[in-house]
Amino acid sequence: MLKSIKEIDVRFNELDPLGVVWHGNYIKYFEDGRENFGQKYGISYNDLKRERIVAPIVSVKCDFKKFVRYGEKLIIETTYTDNLAAKFVLDYSIIVKPRMNWLQKGQTVQVFTDIEGNLILIWPAFFREWKIKWGLTK
């Protein structure tokens, strides 16, 4: 299982008028986790760019369980979910520190396209190599 951990502080500008994190910011937190995961495992946006591949998000899911307030420290756990399709699926857990209460869970699905936007239906060569490197396929 490939997983990364990113810690962040909730900033004042992320709050809504009720004093809790505005729901749209959780998608930004997923992005923080996705960037951290990509840097750790060598599949960052810059890696994709070098391969002339784009990976647009085609699906986002977020389940909200508890509010998050200004000044809290969050842990974003990002986990790769392997599959046979030519897509990149990441699952997220957002946990408040130090209580370690689970707050939100989510998932993003990305597909691969060339730089002109044409959908790639089989694993791009770099993605196959990446999966082999991390023991996800032979």
9 tagged catalytic? no
CA 41 to chain centre: 12
H or E element in which residue 9 lies: strand 3-9
Alpha-carbon span 83 to 88, nearest angstrom: 8
Catalytic residue, from 9, 16, 82, 114: name it.
16
DSSP 16-74: -TTSBB-TTHHHHHHHHHHHHHHHHHT--HHHHHHTTEE--EEEEEEEE-S--BTT-EE
| Catalytic positions | 16
